[in-house]
Amino acid sequence: MSEEIHQRCLVVGATGFQGGAVARLLAGRGHRVRSLTRRPAVARPDIAGVSFVAGDLGSRDDVMWAFKGATHAAVTMPLEYDPVRIQSYAANIAEAALENGVNRIVYNANTRVPPDAGMVAAFETRRLAEAVLRDSGVPLVVLRPPVYLDNLFSPWNGPALIDEGVLAYPLAADQRVGWISHDDLAVAMAAALFNDGLDGRVLDIGGQAVDGPGLAEEFATGLGRPVEYRALPAAAFEAALAKAIGATSAAGVAGIYHYMASGTDERLMDGDPEEAEQALGIKLTPIADWVAGQPWQTWSSRPL
């Protein structure tokens, strides 16, 4: 399969940050990109070359229409953690992909997933969607990233980081994480869409793995100033996030951090990037390089 031949790609989730990065990259490489959104009039004007069509993932007909003519599909589910709704979304995507002869689906689980089933909706709904997509019979590649660096470039992290040199996040200081950026996720998704020999693979992708102090050290290198890491309680993180995305979605997202705080699976977000890099033929960006490339001045009136 060659990416040199421009394909027709359906990107599920292009109005979000992760899916938006995928859509932007694919469109920039000359592929025809379409996405489904409930509000096409306000859908990501920063993404040139992407066609947004009105519709809902819960509507079989809307999803079927969005997939019409697609050769490949990149799927990131919305911040929805109701299993019935997620199963409906995944079933509609699977049926539409099969009906339209899609060559491959790449599913971004948006998190690592523990090997054993449990009670955390953030994991179990993503596991459920993965199973539904796999059962469709359409060739599937699954990517499971750990935590996004872009979470730290935000209004609830940026000001304290830039003005006070404090990097606060809801992970224990000794928790190792293979941080990855949205842009590197997009590169991985594109490689998974078009590279040969990947059908059926499940890849725990992730970049340079560091603990909290190690992350602060990388940020200090990238910013050229001292940075201190502080572990933020998961409950405090959830409460702050609820103000931005609502209590239900915040509870779903925060479920990951409550789970990590329990110490049940300390290695879940860790890992070596080499396996995924070799499988996908990509190279992930070092943390300090990513930090140095961000416009941190956005979050402070003080000159850097």
Q: Which amino acid is at 101?
A: G
pLDDT value, residue 43 = 66
Query: For residue 240, what is the enclosing H or E element?
Result: helix 234-245
Q: Give the model's confidence band at 155: pLDDT under 50 very low, under 70 low, under 90 confident, else very high.
A: confident
Q: Give the model's confidence band at 3: pLDDT under 50 very low, under 70 low, under 90 confident, else very high.
A: low
Which residues make Cβ contacts (< 8 Å) with residue 263, sequence separation at least 6?
none
Name the percent of the chain lying above pLDDT 90.
85
pLDDT value, residue 140 = 98
* HSE value, Cβ hemisphere, 13 Å, CA-based, for 177: 28
pLDDT value, residue 297 = 87
Say if residue 303's pLDDT is above 60.
no
H-type alpha helices, 121-197: 121-135, 158-164, 182-194
Helix (H, G, I), strand (E, B) or coil at 180: strand
Say if residue 282's pLDDT is above 70.
yes
Tokens of 300: 């402070």
**Percent helix, strand and coil across the chain, each rounded to 5?**
45, 15, 40
- Tokens 């539904």 found at: 132
CA 274, 280, 285, 290 torsion: positive or negative? negative
Q: Can you tell me the mean pLDDT for 231-255?
A: 94
pLDDT value, residue 157 = 87
pLDDT value, residue 290 = 98
Q: What is the pTM of this model?
A: 0.94
Say if residue 191's pLDDT is above 60.
yes
pLDDT value, residue 187 = 98
pLDDT value, residue 6 = 76
Say if residue 1's pLDDT is above 60.
no
pLDDT value, residue 271 = 87
Determine which of 48-52, 89-93, 184-188, 225-229 has the lowest per-residue pLDDT on average. Answer: 48-52
Beta strands in the chain (DSSP E): 8-12, 32-37, 50-54, 72-76, 104-108, 140-143, 166-169, 177-178, 202-203, 209-210, 228-231
Nearest to 115 by CA among 135, 144, 95: 144
14 in Cβ contact with 46 (< 8 Å): no
237 in Cβ contact with 63 (< 8 Å): no
Fold classification of 8-145+180-206+271-284 (topology level): Rossmann fold (3.40.50)
Mind listing the pLDDT tens digit for each residue in 25-55? 999 999 999 999 987 766 677 788 899 999 9
Name the percent of the chain lying above pLDDT 70.
95
Q: Can you tell me the mean pLDDT for 264-288?
A: 93
- Tokens 């033929």 found at: 281
Rounded-to-integer distance, Cα 200 and Cα 68, Å = 24
Determine which of 15-24, 154-163, 166-175, 294-303 has the lowest per-residue pLDDT on average. Answer: 294-303
Beta-sheet pairing, 177-178 with 209-210:
antiparallel
pLDDT value, residue 156 = 83
